[in-house]
């Protein structure tokens, strides 16, 4: 039965169902138990599943991520929750040098079926240390899968897909999405990992985006339509692997590309996407590709400066018009 729920509730429902269906699944991380999770995703789970499966960890990301890797190697299905993406850097050695490489280093003998969830993105006035969008960094690493659910449906479906995957999967949940509402239909067949979704069909310009920027892009597309510019908006959903097929098909259709990425421009996933389009579909382009990214500064604390630094619908509209002028 369809229901209107929040993004937070969709993740919570997926997590609860996974734990009910498979006793190997457990959750570990800072404040996931007694506190109910930093973003209240696991509220009430300690009483429901007990301290053996809802594990409050010490403040040591390297230690509990490493414990999750060991549990995965031992046949469990751990979900490691890292409070915010910046804290994941304290576990980067475990993620990159162990989780991502053990299958290769063991000659294919040892998979690491580990799921790591973390909050990402700015907009909540958490200042420079807690407002990063580093999912593009992790998409650089072979051996990992990197998911960026934007919709209620994907927030629900992607956790199950990640738990069924034999390899380590990182799920980046934009912190500004937790309170958003939408329709969840548990009967909808999940779209597989590595497949993008055309959220809005159009013929004049392709916007490629993910996470919270999807909704800003859809807002911009609606405004642009009133001015006669028909925009196709694609939710990438997965940053590793990227869905080159869907991207190139849209480029061949619209011949113009705008990428909206909450990461910084330099060395970003937006740069990688532009390079791939240049390699595979350069002669389809009728105008130079453009990007709207976060301004290359540490994210400010002040609300007005933070909003000015992040991609916004107004910036997307302005850049789309600039692209359309290049005809």
- Report the catalytic residues: 61, 130
User: 3-state class of 167 per DSSP?
Assistant: coil
In whole angstroms, what is the distance from residue 211 CA to residue 176 CA?
10
In whole angstroms, what is the distance from residue 51 CA to residue 34 CA?
9
Region of 293 (left: φ > 0; alpha: ψ -120 to 50; beta: rest) is beta
Asked if residue 290 lies in contact with residue 323, where contact means CB atoms within 8 angstroms, the answer is yes
Handedness of CA 17, 73, 243, 240 (dihedral sign): positive
Angle at 154 between CA 319 and CA 313, to 5 degrees: 20
The secondary structure element, H or E, covering residue 259 is strand 257-264
Q: Which long-range contacts (CB under 8 A, 24 or more apart) does 298-303 make?
A: 298/128, 299/122, 299/127, 299/128, 299/131, 299/132, 300/127, 300/128, 301/125, 301/126, 301/127, 301/128, 302/125, 303/125
The secondary structure element, H or E, covering residue 264 is strand 257-264
């Amino acid at each position: 039965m369809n229901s209107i729920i929040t993004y937070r509730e969709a993740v919570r429902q997926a997590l609860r169902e996974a734990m009910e269906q498979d006793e190997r699944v457990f959750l570990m991380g800072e404040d996931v138990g007694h506190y109910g999770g930093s973003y209240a995703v696991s509220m009430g789970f300690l009483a429901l599943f007990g301290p053996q499966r809802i594990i409050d960890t010490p403040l040591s990301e390297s230690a509990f991520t490493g414990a999750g890797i060991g549990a995965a190697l031992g046949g469990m299905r751990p979900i490691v929750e890292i409070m915010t993406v910046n804290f994941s850097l304290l576990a980067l050695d475990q993620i990159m040098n162990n989780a991502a490489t053990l299958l290769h280093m063991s000659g294919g003998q040892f998979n690491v079926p580990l799921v790591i969830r973390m909050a990402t993105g700015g907009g909540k006035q958490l200042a420079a240390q807690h407002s990063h969008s580093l999912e593009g960094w992790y998409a650089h690493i072979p051996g990992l899968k990197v998911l960026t659910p934007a919709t209620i449906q994907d927030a629900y479906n992607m956790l199950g897909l990640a738990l069924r995957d034999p390899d380590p999967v990182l799920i980046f949940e934009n912190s500004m999405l937790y309170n958003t509402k939408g329709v969840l239909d548990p009967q909808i067949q999940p779209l597989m990992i590595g497949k993008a979704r055309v959220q809005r069909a159009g013929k004049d310009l392709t916007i490629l985006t993910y996470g919270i920027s999807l909704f800003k892009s859809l807002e911009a597309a609606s405004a642009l339509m009133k001015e006669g510019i028909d925009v196709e908006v694609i939710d990438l959903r997965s940053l590793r692997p990227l869905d080159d097929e869907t991207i190139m098909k849209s480029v061949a259709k619209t011949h113009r590309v705008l990428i909206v990425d909450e990461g910084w421009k330099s060395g970003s996933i937006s740069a990688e996407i532009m390079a791939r389009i240049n390699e595979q579909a350069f002669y389809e382009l009728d105008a130079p590709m453009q990007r709207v990214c976060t301004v290359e500064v540490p994210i400010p604390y002040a609300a007005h400066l933070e909003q000015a630094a992040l991609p916004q619908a107004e910036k997307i509209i302005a850049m789309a018009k600039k692209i359309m002028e290049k005809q």
